[in-house]
Structure formats: structure tokens, C-alpha cells
Amino acid sequence: MKAQILKHIAPIDKMPLEMVEMPTPQPKPGEILVKVAACGICHTELDEIEGRLQPKLPVILGHEIVGRVEKLGAGATRFNIGDRVGIAWIHSACGKCRFCQSGRENLCPEFQGTGCQADGGYAQYTVVPEDFAYPVPARFTDSQAAPLLCAGAIGYRALRLTSLEDGQVLGLFGFGASAHIVIQVAKYKYPSGRVFVFTRPGQKEHQELAKKLGADWTGATGETPPASLDCAIDFTPVWGPIVAALRALENGGRLVINAIRKEEIDKDSLLELDYSGHLWYEKEIKSVANITRQDAREFLPLAAEIPIIPEVQEFKLEEANEALILLKKGKIQGAAVLRID
Ligand SMILES: [Zn+2]
Ligand SMILES: [Zn+2]
């Protein structure tokens, strides 16, 4: 099969992904072989390529995979040959530890990330345990479904972790790929609630899009919104919004931080953190890590029902380096997706 592989950590401008011909993987017992049709491109791949996240090497990147079942490993019964499936960031977990046994497999010490500890979808074929593949609703094309498997599913998890109830106020800090999906889910599931969106000052386009998608108020991070926030989600890679969000929280409110990494600690903004203004009155902070199968299984049909149809810009597998360079420069319209034939 053809695959783009990463052998060494390098800046993306050096175009480190290499197109190679390699043996098609074979499904082990309980696994399925999937012929990849589309694989979304995520910022996490830039982190892996440039060494901010450590993948196995060499690795086939890509964790927003849509394809069709090509072959069943021994004992695999969940799907038929030809079924369309999606594969997300969670490639596998041990199934035995106390986290796996309590529906928190995203916290499993043996958690394997697709396209990180296990090979992913920048290739013509990939293998995955059948329990970690999901039916894809017919509403979506292959390319449209791909971005839902990462930004969508993790955003859905973040929203779930806020414990938001209908009629309450939700604050979103940062308005990128994940937040623009979360606002649509929040508006659909909690129609009597209000959503306030905070962006960097002057991000007028983001604020316009937020309003178009139903935001009840938009402003710059640090501005005082028209009401206190019952819940907030921070999607940014920096520290300032955490302090701003805590200040804007209602008593007993919860802030969920949806970020794999935060940029180096910004001491100035953290020095502003004071106990009585930001934490007193039972305010809570929680981060969101990875996703569970349950998140993906619930989110895909919900996205079809709403519906959430992502804007995508397609590239060939051969163009993966170029697409990642454009992503880094912020020049992708919607989500970038590799089309693989
Ligand atoms: Zn991702
Ligand atoms: Zn486990």
C-alpha cells in the first residue's frame, strides 16, 4: 500500500513526511482492516511532526479516518465487509484497568492514540480493534465525516463534562474547529440556554461566525459578559483565558479546559489569579483528555441529526506535507482532509 510516513521529528517546512510503498497490514484477532477513503488533518499532527508530542517512530499519522471494512480478523463480528466505519483518536485501551472498567478508558495507562502509538490513516489501509470503529451516518460524505471524529467528538466530551443544563449560560473561550461544533451542539441540546463566545480582541470574523451559529453575545476575552457563566470551556493554547473564565464564572460554576497542551506558563496572567475572586464559592476546574468510544458513538448520530456539516478542503495523500504547511499558516478553509483512492 501507499503511505505517508514520518521517520524523524522535523519542522514541517522541511516536508518530513515521506511517501512510501509498504506491506498492507493484516488484521489480528478482533481487528478489522479498513480501506481508507478520507483522513482529516489535525493540529495534533503538527505537534507530532515537530516533536511537541512524542509519537512512535516511524509512524503513519492521522486520527480522523473514514473508510470501508476490507477484511475481518479472526473472531471479528461487529461489521461486515464493505461497511463504512470511522476511527478516532482512541485506537485502543487495556479494557481491564479501573479506568477502562468504569467508562473512563480515555484515562487508561495503556491508552494508544491512533496515528501516535498506533499507525493511523495517512495511508491506503489501516487496522483497528473492531470495538474502536464506529458506523458513520449516511448524512455525511467520507470527507465531511472525517473532521467530526476529532474536533467534534472531543468538543462533545468537553461539553458533556461541563454538566451544563438547559436554561444555563455557557461561555466558550476561543472559537476554532472544536468550539464552532460545540456551539451547534449546545444550541440544539439546550435551546433555552445562552452561549457567550470570547475571542482574542479584534477577531471579528470569528465573532461573526459565532453569531451566525447562534451565539447570544460575543466579546473579547476579559470583557464582562451580560451574565455570569454557569459553565465555561477554554479551547485556547494559552493561560490568560483560564483566569478570565474563572472570573466570569457563577458561584459553583465549572471550567473545562479542552487543550492537549498549554503554551509555556504565562506568569503575568497567573499572578492575577486570586482565591477570593477566581476560586472561592466552589468554582471548579477540569481538563478534558482524549475521548472514549461512548463519546464517538453518541456524537456521530447527534451530528447527523442536528445536522453539523463541516466545511472541508480536500488534498491528495501525496500532498500531505503541503496541506500541513497550509494548516500551520492558518490558510485552510474549514477542515483539511486527505482523499485517498
Ligand atoms: Zn485531532
Ligand atoms: Zn485500561
Q: How far apart are CA 57 and CA 41, in angstroms?
A: 19
Q: How many helices (H) and strands (E) does the chain have?
A: 9, 17
**C-alpha of residue 163 to centroid of ligand 2, in Å:** 24
**C-alpha of residue 101 to centroid of ligand 2, in Å:** 7
Q: Which ligand neighbours the alpha carbon of 41 most closely?
A: 1
Task: Compute the C-alpha angle 314/315/316, nearest 5°.
Answer: 135
Average pLDDT over residues 272-281: 89
Under CATH, what is the fold of the domain 154-287?
Answer: Rossmann fold (3.40.50)
Residue 325's CB: how many other CB atoms inside 10 A?
Answer: 16
* Of the listed ranges 7-16, 216-225, 258-267, the one predicted with least confidence: 258-267
- pLDDT value at residue 332: 84
Whose CA is closest to 248, among 272, 274, 229? 229
The kind and range of the H/E element at 245 are: helix 240-248
**C-alpha of residue 43 to centroid of ligand 1, in Å:** 6
**C-alpha of residue 20 to centroid of ligand 2, in Å:** 34
Q: Which ligand neighbours the alpha carbon of 107 most closely?
A: 2
**C-alpha of residue 42 to centroid of ligand 1, in Å:** 4
Which residues are paired to 135 by β-bridges? Answer: 85
Which residues are paired to 229 by β-bridges? Answer: 249
Q: Is 308 exposed, middle or buried (0-12, 13-18, 19+ CB in 10 A)?
A: buried
| Architecture in CATH of 2-139+309-339 | Alpha-Beta Complex (3.90)
- pLDDT category, 138, cuts 50, 70, 90? very high
Q: Residues 6 or more apart from 135 whose CB is under 8 A from it? A: 83, 84, 85, 86, 300
Whose CA is closest to 31, among 138, 143, 114, 145? 114
CATH 3.90.180.10 spans which residues of the chain?
2-139+309-339
- pLDDT value at residue 122: 98
**C-alpha of residue 102 to centroid of ligand 2, in Å:** 9
- Phi, psi dihedral angles at 243 (to 5 degrees): -65, -45
CATH 3.40.50.720 spans which residues of the chain?
154-287
**C-alpha of residue 281 to centroid of ligand 1, in Å:** 35
- pLDDT category, 284, cuts 50, 70, 90? very high
**Which residue do the cell numbers 497542551 mark?**
261
C-alpha cell at 108: 487508561
| More confident site: 269 or 90 | 90
Say if residue 310 is preceded by a cis peptide, omega within 30 of 0.
no
Contact 290, 313 (CB under 8 A): no
Q: How far apart are CA 33 and CA 141, in angstroms?
A: 20
Contact 256, 232 (CB under 8 A): yes
- pLDDT value at residue 20: 98
- pLDDT value at residue 176: 84
C-alpha cell at 200: 482574542
- pLDDT tens-digit map of 190-239: 999 999 999 999 889 889 999 999 999 999 999 999 999 999 999 998 88
Q: Which ligand neighbours the alpha carbon of 290 most closely?
A: 1
Contact 248, 217 (CB under 8 A): no
Q: Which ligand neighbours the alpha carbon of 97 most closely?
A: 2
Cα–Cα distances in angstroms (integers) from residue 12 to residues 91, 119, 121, 290, 332, in the given order: 25, 19, 18, 24, 16
**C-alpha of residue 52 to centroid of ligand 1, in Å:** 14
C-alpha cell at 160: 458533556
- pLDDT value at residue 44: 93
Q: Which amino acid is at 108?
A: C
- pLDDT value at residue 237: 84
